[in-house]
Each structure stands twice: as structure tokens, then as C-alpha cells.
Structure 1
Amino acid sequence: MFIYYGIALLIVALDQWTKWLVMKNMELGERIILADPYLAWLSHRNRGAAWGMLEGQMWLFAIITIAVIIGILYYFHAQAKGKPLFQLSLMVILGGAIGNFIDRMLRGEVVDFIAVLIPIINYEFPIFNVADAALTVGVVLMIIFIIYDEKQEKKKVS
């Protein structure tokens, strides 16, 4: 069980360290090309949720994040025992949620810095950070777990 908490802690540490590096070494709006034109570091701040929605609603984000953290911890301890993929998905989501929560509470904004261009459709994906990536990966892992778990339940019934 502690290994899973370690994964969440590692995500929070990596998230906060990368954000600190961006704030320390880049000017706001500065872009460093990594793979032109597909990938760059871009120092950006977000005062809202995903894609800047609900800008300035820190009290709402605090309440929602605390509720999410409580829910994750409940499911981790009450429902996920013996289900490693479910445990992993919950802790990856927890790490991402805490990473952005720290930004909102300490800075009043989230530091974003990864800029991606999807060339096939020429789409500039919204700028994100390690916590955002962890949230996305955690949700994908959870979807995989749910699909797998449902198939296992159907096999038991059959």
C-alpha cells in the first residue's frame, strides 16, 4: 500500500520541481522549442480549471479538490484492495490533484509549461504540466481497470 502513496508523492514532487524550474528560469510567456513545431516549454499561468474555465474561483477549486482527495482515499482503502491497477490509477490521480491544488493555494494560479502541437489536425493542445498529465494518465488507467473488471465480472457470471 505504501508504494502507491510513494507514487503519488513522486508525482507531486516532480510536478512542483518542474514548475519551480519554469518559474525560476523562464520569463512568463517565454517559449523554448524542443521539437519545432511540435513540442516546446512555454511559461504560462492559469487562474482557472482546464483550458482556463472558471477563472478566479479558487474557493470552488479548493472545495472540489478536497472532496476529490477524500473520495480517492476512501476508494483506495475501501474498494481498491487487491486491485493493483485501480490502486495505481487512484494514486496517480491523487498526485495530479495535489500538485495543482498546491499551486492554487500557494500561488493563486497553476503553472503550465508543456506546449504540444498535434500536426495531423494542426491543433495546439492546451498548455499543461506534470500534474495535468498525471490526472489524464490516472483517468485512462481507471477506464482500463473498469473495462477489465467488468469483463472479469461477466466471466464469473457466465
Structure 2
Amino acid sequence: MAAACSGRKERAWARALAVAASVVLLDQASKQAAVELLANGRRVSLVPGLDLALTFNTGVAFGALRGFGDTIGWLVAVTLALLLVHFLRSASTPWLWLPVGAIVGGALSNLADRARVGAVIDFIDPVAWPAFNLADSAIVLGVAGLVLIGERAAKRAARADEQRAAGP
């Protein structure tokens, strides 16, 4: 039983790493293309209300915490460490590897931007929403996935408690 659990955890870690690496590669490639194609203030309208335009965000979501560059890096590092500790303890939870990999990949890719250019490169620019990038999307989807997985786990635990209370 322990060997099966260990193998499941190892596969979960490998999958999370593959997702994280894929997010970093796709995000960095898309940002490089954006830097090359959207230089000098060029905007490309995809559909009404959705443009591609190059921006550099020194803050976090919605530009909050501008001017706190080093602090943001440390906050992201601590948050990632806490997430990885949670994953270390719960890696055998079905599908948990997917949102963890998405969040880790997105965060690492945005940290790479901060280290390289001093800001996060954003280029997807909806008219009624702040600009963002693929890493941001991966983080948001990953957090949503964590919430859904957590809710499912809580419901399973509640059902198990009810069955135990009902007796044989």
C-alpha cells in the first residue's frame, strides 16, 4: 500500500513539474513574441474590446503594490513555498498536480520577468480589464482548480463522516 501511494505521489510531482515547465515555456515564448510584435506602442485589435498591447507591470494583480519590487518577490516566494508544502502533504489527492503546476509555472514565469526586466510583461489587453499574460491566466485557473478540489475533498470527508456516524 505504501509503495502504491509513493508511486502515486511521484507521478503527481512529475506531472506538476511538467505542467509548470509547460506554463513557463508557453508564457515566455508568448511574451517574447509580444515584445517583438508590439514594440513602440503598437496595438493589435483582435476583436472589439480585446487588444494586444505591450505593458510592463511593476506591481501585482491590477497593478497593486507598484514600487514594492523586492517585497513582491519575497511574497511570491513564501506563497510558493507554502503551496509546495501543501502539495508535499497532499500530492496523492486526485488532480491536485494540475492546479499546483499551473500556479507554480505562472508564478515562476512572472518572477523571471521581474528578474530580467524589472517588471512583468503583460500584453493581453481587454478594454474593461487590466492587461495580463498567459502566466496570470494559469495562476487564476490554478487557484480556481485548488478551490474546486478543496470543495470536493470537503464533501467527500463530510459524506464519510455521515457514513461512520450512521454505523454499519
TM surpasses 0.5: yes
Give the number of the structure whose alpha-carbon radius of gyration is greater.
Answer: 2
Would you say 1:9 and 2:13 are equivalent positions? no
Determine whether 1:115 maps to 2:125.
yes
1:135 counterpart residue number = 139
Per-residue CA distance 1:64-111 (angstroms, 9 max, x = gap)? 1111221222122222x2213222111111111111111111110111
Q: Is the 8 A contact 2:15 2:101 kept in 1?
A: no
CA distance in 2, matches of 1:83, 1:48: 33
Contact 1:28 1:44 (C-alpha < 8 Å) held by counterparts? no
RMSD: 1.3
1:86 matches 2:96: yes
Task: Could you tell me which runs of 5 or more consecutive residues in structure 1 were left unpaired when the two chains were aligned.
Answer: 118-123
Aligned with 1:43 (options 49, 54, 79): 54
Corresponding position of 2:106: 96
**What is aligned with 2:33?**
21
Contact 1:40–1:116, Cα closer than 8 Å, also in 2: yes
Give the 3-state SS of the residue equivalent to 1:96 in structure 2.
helix
Unaligned runs of 5+ in 2: 1-12, 163-168
1:120 aligns with: none
For residues 72 and 149 of structure 1, what CA distance do their matches in structure 2 show?
17
Q: Give aligned-pair identity as a percent.
A: 28
Mapped pair 1:76 → 2:87: yes
Query: Once superposed, which parts of structure 1, at least 4 consecutive aligned residues long, lie more than 3 Å away?
Result: none
The one of 119, 140, 150 aligned to 2:154: 150
Superposed displacement of residue 43, structure 1: 1.1
TM-score by length of 2: 0.84
Distance in 1 (CA, whole Å) between partners of 2:38 and 2:160 is: 55
TM-score (norm: length of structure 1): 0.89
Secondary structure of 2:131's partner? strand
Query: Which residue of 58, 64, 71 maps to 1:53?
Result: 64
**What is the alpha-carbon distance in structure 2 between the residues aligned to residue 72 and residue 116 of structure 1?**
30
Q: How many residues are matched?
A: 150
Q: Of Structure 1 and Structure 2, which has the larger fraction of its residues in helix?
A: 2
